[in-house]
Chains A and B, each alone.
Chain A
Amino acid sequence: MTPAALLETASLMGLFALAGGGYGGLYSIGRLWTRPGLIQAGGACWIAAFVIALTIAVRTPLDVGWKLLILASALVYAVIPPVTWRYLERLHDQQESNQ
Chain B
Amino acid sequence: MDIEDPSFWRAGAISTTLVMLIVLAFLSIDSMRVISVGGANVPKYDVINHRIGYEFDWSRNASVPVIGGPEPLFGKAVTEAEATALMESGKLVIQSRACMDCHTIFGNGAYYAPDLTKAWLDPAWQQIWMPMTGKATREDAMVEFLMHPDKYPTWTRAMPNLQLTEDEARATVAYLKWLSAIDTNGFPANFGPSGQQP
Contact = CB atoms under 8 A, between A and B. Distances in A.
Contacts of A87: 3
B30 interface: no
A73 B4 CA distance: 25
Interface string A39-83: 000000000000000000000000000000000000000000000
Nearest to A95: B4
Interface residues of B, number: 2
Nearest to B190: A3
**Size band of the interface chain A makes with B:** under 10
Contacts of A90: 3-4
A82 to B, nearest CB: 15
Contacts of A11: none
A87 B3 CA distance: 8
Interface string B1-19: 0011000000000000000
A4 interface: no
A94 interface: yes
Nearest to A91: B4
A80 B154 CA distance: 53
A94 B3 CA distance: 11
A94 B4 CA distance: 8
Contacts of A94: 4
Nearest to A1: B189
Interface in B109-126: none
A87 B4 CA distance: 8
A98 to B, nearest CB: 10
B196 to A, nearest CB: 13
A13 B4 CA distance: 34
B189 to A, nearest CB: 8
A83 to B, nearest CB: 11
Contacts of B4: 90-91, 94
B149 to A, nearest CB: 31
Interface in B1-48: 3-4
Interface of A: 87, 90-91, 94
5 contacts: A87-B3, A90-B3, A90-B4, A91-B4, A94-B4
The 5 closest A-B pairs by CB, nearest first: A94-B4, A91-B4, A90-B4, A87-B3, A90-B3
